[in-house]
């Protein structure tokens, strides 16, 4: 059996994961855990939160997943152990947990991370150059790009609407008016199809795959372990990522404001181009955000503020799952049905309060234990033993 370690954390990674978790939770909150889309009413809160976090927070999670994969594999390799088989088992457990979570909330991302994580075991055999080129191919969104080129040439495109657009209205009715049993029954199959169809057609599956590889590469070069060594590259990357993101944002706004342009002469080409620009902008924004977070972390005062998020990053699995357990009954029809009355500003405030309470609990818990509750169960199931240290000793806790 591979060596079972007590946690040896990289503080900046935990803080960044905690920040991504905050962003993801706030998006879910103002979406009423999906039900906002039953009767959307755009607002300033919506525009700002989606600009900051939509398509980006989950991508940071994916990047950090790739990083964690490298750390786990590297530490075991240094002890002479091949962790590949056990890592695949670890992903299988995560997929099962994600499915259970998805019975309540069909927007679960754990299944997606787990399934895509299987390819990391293969990709890890390649050199940095090959991995980087593969990541660029994923971020380039070739299926959408080819669809866009075809639309420019007058090709008709898909023969029918994607599956998610067909099932989504049914999902909204079940979530708004169904019982808990009906929500679970819908999510057991149709909810899963809705999610996976959306992930595939929107390009998010490819984007997540590219982010996995970016995280793997950042782990290999020690980007987060030795941030001072990359100060010059980080500064250049900040400027480049900001410039690319700005150009993409302006271009996207221009395309959306026009009925017909040379770049989008018909409806299909406009839709495909908008999807491309959305995905490209999200990738550039993720790069800029991670680089900025890392740069700011070097300032002692601001580091202390960022470190407040670190326990959330260490307990991200527990906090992510518990967010749905706590909030879905608040918003859905089988519970309080707040989706119909709360409004996005109040939902945002509620999300901030609930995340703050979760974070306070994480601080309290991790002063006493090495892992969050679900993190400990996941690790125990990975090693098929309950002999995984959980409680801190009195000396360590002090």
String of b and e for 4-34 (b: at least 16 CB within 10 Å)? eeeeeebebbbbbbbbbbbbbbbbbbbbbbb
Q: Which pLDDT score is estimated for 5?
A: 52
Residue 73 tokens read as 């594999």
Over residues 300-329, mean pLDDT = 94
Percent of the chain whose predicted confidence (pLDDT) is above 70:
96
> What is the pTM (predicted TM-score) of this model?
0.93
pLDDT at 398 over 50: no
Read off the pLDDT of each residue in 358-367 and give the average, rounded to a whole number: 98
How confident is the model over 192-212, as a mean pLDDT?
95
Q: What is the per-residue pLDDT across 226-252, written as a single tens digit (0 to 9) for each?
A: 988 999 999 999 999 999 999 999 999
What is the pLDDT averaged over residues 199-206?
94
Confidence (pLDDT) at 156:
82
Can you give the pLDDT at residue 27? 97
Least confident range from 225-239, 253-267, 325-339: namely 253-267
Q: What was the pLDDT predicted at 394? A: 54
pLDDT at position 281 over 90: yes
Supply the mean pLDDT for the chain: 93
Q: At residue 369, what are phi and psi to the nearest 5 degrees?
A: -135, 155
> How much is the pLDDT for 395?
45
Given this model, what pLDDT does residue 8 score?
Answer: 63
Q: Quick one: average pLDDT of 130-139?
A: 97
- What is the mean pLDDT of the segment spanning 187-212? 95
Per-residue confidence at 300, pLDDT binned at 50, 70, 90? confident
**Exposure class string for 291-318: b at 16+ Cβ within 10 A, else e:** bebbbebeeeeeeeebbebbbbbbbbbb
Least confident of 15-24, 26-35, 164-173, 256-265: 256-265
**To which H or E segment does residue 269 belong?**
helix 267-297
Q: Does residue 42 or residue 36 have the better pLDDT?
A: 36
**DSSP for 270-333, written as a single string:** HHHHHHHHHHHHHHHHHHHHHHHHHHHHTSHHHHHHHHTTHHHHHTHHHHHHHHHHHHHHHHST
Per-residue confidence band for 4, with pLDDT thresholds at 50, 70 and 90: low
Domain ranges of the chain: 11-397
For residue range 59-109, list pLDDT tens digits in order: 999 999 999 999 999 998 898 888 999 999 999 999 999 999 999 999 999
Question: In Å, how far from its chain's centre is CA 36?
Answer: 20
Checking if the pLDDT of 397 tops 60, the result is: no
């Amino acid at each position: 059996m591979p060596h079972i370690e007590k946690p040896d954390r990289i503080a900046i990674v935990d803080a960044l994961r905690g920040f991504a978790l905050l962003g993801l939770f706030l998006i879910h909150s103002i979406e009423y855990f999906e039900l906002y889309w039953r009767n959307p009413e755009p607002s300033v809160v919506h525009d700002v939160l989606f600009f900051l976090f939509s398509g980006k927070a989950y991508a940071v999670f994916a990047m950090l997943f790739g990083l964690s994969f490298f750390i786990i594999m590297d530490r075991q390799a240094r002890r002479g152990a091949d962790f590949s088989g056990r890592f695949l088992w670890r992903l299988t457990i995560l997929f099962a947990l994600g499915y259970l979570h998805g019975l309540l909330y069909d927007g679960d991302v754990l299944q997606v991370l787990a399934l895509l994580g299987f390819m990391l075991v293969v990709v890890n055999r390649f050199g940095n150059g090959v991995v980087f080129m593969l990541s660029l191919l994923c971020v380039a969104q070739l299926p959408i790009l080819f669809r866009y080129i075809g639309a420019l040439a007058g090709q008709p495109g898909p023969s029918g609407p994607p599956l998610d657009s067909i099932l989504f209205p049914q999902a909204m009715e079940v979530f708004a008016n169904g019982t808990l049993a009906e929500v679970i029954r819908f999510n057991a199959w149709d909810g899963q199809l809705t999610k996976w169809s959306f992930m595939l057609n929107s390009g998010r599956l490819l984007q997540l795959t590219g982010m996995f590889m970016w995280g793997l590469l950042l782990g290999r070069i020690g980007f987060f372990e030795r941030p001072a060594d990359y100060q010059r590259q980080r500064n250049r990357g900040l400027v480049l990522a900001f410039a690319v993101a700005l150009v993409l944002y302006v271009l996207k706004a221009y395309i959306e404001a026009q009925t017909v342009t040379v770049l989008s002469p018909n409806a299909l080409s406009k839709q495909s181009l908008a999807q491309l620009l959305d995905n490209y902008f999200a990738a550039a924004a993720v790069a800029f955000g991670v680089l900025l977070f890392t740069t700011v972390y070097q300032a002692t005062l601001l580091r202390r503020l960022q470190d407040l998020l670190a326990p959330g990053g260490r307990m991200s699995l527990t906090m992510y799952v518990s967010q749905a357990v706590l909030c879905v009954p608040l918003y859905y029809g089988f519970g309080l049905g707040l989706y119909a009355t709360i409004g996005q500003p109040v939902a945002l405030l509620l999300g901030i309060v609930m995340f703050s309470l979760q974070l306070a609990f994480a601080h309290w818990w991790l002063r006493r234990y090495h892992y969050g509750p679900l993190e400990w169960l996941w690790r125990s199931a990975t090693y098929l033993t309950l002999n995984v240290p959980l409680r801190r000793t009195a000396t360590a806790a002090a």
